[in-house]
Amino acid sequence: MAVQTNTNKAAKSRDVGKFFRHVKAELKKVIWPSKKELTSYTTVVLTTCAVVAIGIWLVDTIFGKALQLIIK
């Protein structure tokens, strides 16, 4: 039983090492964005978030005012 446990630990250790080697190989294949692209993408994301936040705020305000009118 003890031999099997040691074998399992060794196999798991090899699997972990193999996993990280594969991760490193995959990261080398990634085409990273340039600084200009990254800035552009970030601007688009932040602008979209701001527009959606303002839209949600407007809808919430309108429904809140409508609910106040109905309750009164």
pLDDT tens, position by position, for the chain (72 residues)? Answer: 555 556 677 777 788 889 999 999 999 999 999 999 999 999 999 999 999 999 999 999 999 999 999 998
How far is it, in rounded angstroms, from Cα 23 to Cα 26?
5
Domain positions in the chain are: 1-30, 32-72
Q: Tell me the two tokens of residue 29.
A: 């294949």
The pLDDT value recorded for residue 12 is 74
CA angle 29, 30, 31 (to 5 degrees): 115
